[in-house]
């Protein structure tokens, strides 16, 4: 298959995006996030900082903070993480946090009782406008993506997000990636359309 028709796939491990107020509450006044490594999307980076997630059942330690800061704190976990924590988080596009559960965040300088913001991130593909033209899709389309290999699978209801700020990459959580036995340099093939109709996410 031509390389230009492949979509690289990344497994997104549990992580958290923090607001300025919560950065200071967890790490101290005027604290600035420390870049550890760049991520696939331009301007996005993993930080040296980590926090603990505390749920009704148990805690998950050393959850990586991703930068830069956001307007609202968002925690992204897998279904397996939910079972461990004892919460039930909905599948949502990033930023759609109304009606989501919260939990306690614990950092080296303090704690935050998060009222909402915990989600399973809806699987999605980041694309530039040129990528979208090549694949024949538009922002907010829902598509399927086929992954080959010994545990080949078709992922349904994959949200397409298009922006000049993006780089081509499909994001799955660790449960999804493990189900397909994905390794480094994994890729998928886009199939237009989805077998179920999803509501269009709001701005």
In the chain, where are the structural domains located?
3-10+123-191, 13-121
Average model confidence (pLDDT) across the chain: 93
* 52-81 pLDDT per residue, tens: 999 999 999 999 999 999 999 999 999 999
* Residue given tokens 């550890």 in the structure block: 36
Q: Residue 116: CB partners within 8 Å, gap ≥ 6?
A: 97, 98, 99, 100, 101, 102
CA distance 31 to 28: 6
Has residue 118 got a pLDDT over 90?
Answer: yes
Burial of 59 (0-12, 13-18, 19+ CB in 10 A): middle
Has residue 202 got a pLDDT over 60?
Answer: no
Percent of the chain with pLDDT over 70: 93
* Residue-level pLDDT at 193: 73
Q: Residue 113: CB partners within 8 Å, gap ≥ 6?
A: 102, 104
Residues 64, 44: contact at Cβ < 8 Å? no
Confidence band, pLDDT 50/70/90 cuts, at residue 8: very high
Q: Which fold has domain 3-10+123-191?
A: Barwin-like endoglucanases (2.40.40)
Confidence band, pLDDT 50/70/90 cuts, at residue 192: confident
How many CA atoms lie within 13 Å of 142's alpha carbon, on the beta-carbon side? Answer: 13
């Amino acid at each position: 298959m031509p390389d230009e028709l492949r979509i690289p796939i990344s497994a997104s491990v549990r992580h958290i995006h923090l607001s300025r107020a919560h950065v200071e509450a967890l790490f101290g006044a005027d604290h600035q996030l420390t870049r550890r490594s760049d991520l696939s999307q331009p301007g996005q980076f993993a930080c040296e900082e980590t926090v603990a997630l505390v749920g009704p059942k148990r805690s998950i330690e050393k959850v990586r903070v991703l930068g830069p800061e956001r307007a609202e704190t968002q925690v992204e976990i897998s279904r397996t993480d939910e079972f461990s924590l004892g919460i039930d988080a909905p599948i949502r596009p990033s930023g759609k946090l109304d009606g989501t559960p919260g939990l306690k965040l614990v950092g080296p300088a303090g704690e935050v009782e998060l009222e909402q913001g915990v989600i399973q991130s809806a699987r999605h593909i980041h694309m530039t406008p040129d990528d979208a033209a090549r694949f024949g899709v538009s922002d907010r389309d829902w598509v399927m993506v086929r992954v080959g290999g010994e545990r080949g699978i078709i992922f349904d209801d994959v949200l397409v997000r298009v922006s000049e700020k993006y780089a081509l990459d499909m994001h799955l959580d660790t449960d999804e990636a493990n189900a397909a036995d994905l390794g480094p340099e994994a890729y998928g093939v886009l199939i237009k359309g989805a077998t179920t109709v999803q509501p269009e996410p709001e701005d």
